A and B are shown apart, each in its own frame.
Chain A
Amino acid sequence: MSDPKIEGYVFKPGFKGMAQDTGSDQTMFKGVHWGKAMMWIFLLSDTFIFSCFLISYMKGRGSTLVEWPNPSEVFALDAFGVPVPLLLIAIMTFVLITSSGTMALAVKYGYEKNRKMCGWLILATAIGGLTFVGMQAFEWSKLIHEGVRPWENPFGAKQFGSFFFMITGFHGTHVSIGVIFLFIYAYKTFAGHYDERKRGWFTTMKGDYVEIEILGLYWHFVDLVWVFIFAFFYLW
Chain B
Amino acid sequence: MSEDFKDNKTIQAQSSETISGGGSGVSPDIDHVRPAEVEEQDLYHGHSFITKWIFCQDAKVIGVQYFLLATFTGIIGLILSWLMRLQLGFPGAASFMTAEHYYQFVTMHGMIMVVYFLTALFLGGFGNYLIPLMVGARDMVFPYLNMVSFWMFFIAVGVLLASFFVPGGPTGAGWTLYPPQTILEGTPGSGMGILLMCLSLILFVAGFTMGGLNYLITVLQARTRGMTLMRMPLTVWGIFTATVLAMLAFPALLVGALMMSLDKILGTSFFMPTILKAGEVLEYGGGSPILFQHLFWFFGHPEVYIVALPAFGIISDLISVHSRKNIFGYRMMVWAIVGIGGLSFFVWAHHMYVSGMNPWFGFFFATTTLIIAVPTAMKVYNWILTLWRGNIRMNTVMLWCLGFIVTFVNGGITGIFLGNVTVDVPLSDTYFVIAHFHMVMGIAPLMVIMGAVYHWFPLVAGRFLDEKLGKWHFWATFLGAYSIYFPMHYLGFIGVPRRYFEMYDSPYVASATGMNEFISLAAFLVGAAQFILIFNIIKTLKTGKPAGSNPWKACSLEWLTPTVPPEHGNWGDRLPVVHRWAYDYSVPGAKEDFITQTTPPSEVVNTGVEKT
Contacts and interface: CB of A to CB of B under 8 A. Distances in A.
In-complex A–B contact (CB below 8 Å) = yes
Contact of B34 (A8, A31, A49): A8
Interface residues of A, number: 53
Contact of A150 (B223, B226, B230, B268): B268
Contacts of A161: 268
A48 B248 contact: yes
B596 interface: no
Interface in A40-84: 41-42, 44-46, 48-49, 51-53, 56, 59-60, 63-66
A150 B263 CA distance: 9
B4 A24 contact: yes
B142 A157 contact: no
Contacts of B423: none
Given A25-B227, A45-B212, A45-B250, 9 more contacts: A23-B228, A26-B222, A29-B221, A34-B141, A46-B251, A49-B254, A158-B268, A159-B268, A162-B266
B521 interface: no
Interface string B129-165: 0000000000001101100000000000000000000
B361 to A, nearest CB: 14
Contact of A34 (B142, B212, B251): B142
A55 B48 CA distance: 49
B226 A162 contact: no
Q: Which of B230, B231, B255, B258 has the most CB of A within 10 A?
A: B255
A24 B230 CA distance: 9
3 nearest CB pairs, A to B:
A48-B251, A162-B268, A52-B255
Given A8-B34, A151-B269, A159 B286 contact: yes
B298 A166 contact: no
B291 A59 contact: yes
B37 A158 contact: no
A34 B227 contact: no
A177 to B, nearest CB: 13
B247 A25 contact: no
Contacts of B262: 150, 162, 166
Interface of B: 1, 3-5, 33-38, 42, 44, 141-142, 144-145, 209, 212-213, 216-217, 220-231, 247-248, 250-252, 254-256, 258-259, 262, 266-270, 283, 285-288, 291, 294-295, 298, 578
Nearest to B44: A204
A72 B227 CA distance: 57
B213 A63 contact: no
Nearest to B288: A63
Given A25-B223, A45-B209, A48-B251, A206 B34 contact: no
A166 B4 contact: no
Interface string A6-21: 1111100000000110
Nearest to A161: B268
Contacts of B38: 26-27
B286 A65 contact: yes
Contacts of B298: 52
Interface string A148-171: 001100000111011100100000
Contact of B209 (A23, A42, A53, A159): A42
B291 A53 contact: no
A32 interface: yes
Contacts of B227: 25-26
A141 interface: no
Nearest to B228: A25
A48 B223 CA distance: 27
A12 to B, nearest CB: 9
Given A9-B4, A28-B221, A41-B216, A23 B229 contact: yes
B4 A8 contact: yes
Interface of A: 6-10, 19-20, 22-32, 34-35, 37-38, 41-42, 44-46, 48-49, 51-53, 56, 59-60, 63-66, 150-151, 157-159, 161-163, 166, 202-206
A34 B252 contact: no
Contacts of A38: 141-142, 213, 216-217
A127 B262 CA distance: 31
Contacts of B33: 25
Nearest to A22: B229
B288 A60 contact: yes
Contacts of A49: 251, 254-255
Contacts of A46: 251
Nearest to B226: A25
B291 A41 contact: no
A88 to B, nearest CB: 24
A195 B221 CA distance: 25
B47 to A, nearest CB: 13
A32 B256 CA distance: 34
A64 B286 contact: yes
Contact of A45 (B226, B228, B229, B247): B247
7 contacts: A24-B4, A30-B37, A34-B142, A46-B251, A66-B286, A158-B269, A162-B262
A27 B39 CA distance: 13
B287 A159 contact: yes
A49 to B, nearest CB: 4
Contacts of A45: 209, 212, 247-248, 250-251
A32 B220 CA distance: 11
Contact of B225 (A26, A34, A53): A26
B144 A20 contact: no
Nearest to A149: B266
A44 B141 contact: no
B230 A23 contact: yes
A27 B37 contact: yes
B1 A23 contact: yes
A43 B226 CA distance: 30
Contacts of B247: 41, 44-45, 48
A204 B41 CA distance: 12
A32 B221 contact: yes
Contact of A158 (B1, B221, B258, B286): B286
Contacts of B5: 24
Contacts of B259: 56, 166
Given A34-B222, A60-B288, A8 B268 contact: no
A27 B226 contact: no
B268 A10 contact: no
A6 B37 contact: yes
Q: Which of A10, A41, A65, A206 has the most CB of B within 10 A?
A: A41
A26 B1 contact: no
Contacts of B145: 203
Contacts of A7: 34-35
Contacts of A157: 286
Nearest to A42: B213
B252 A8 contact: no
Contacts of A41: 213, 216-217, 247
A63 B270 CA distance: 11
A116 B56 CA distance: 37
B144 A203 contact: yes
Contacts of A19: 1
A163 B3 CA distance: 54
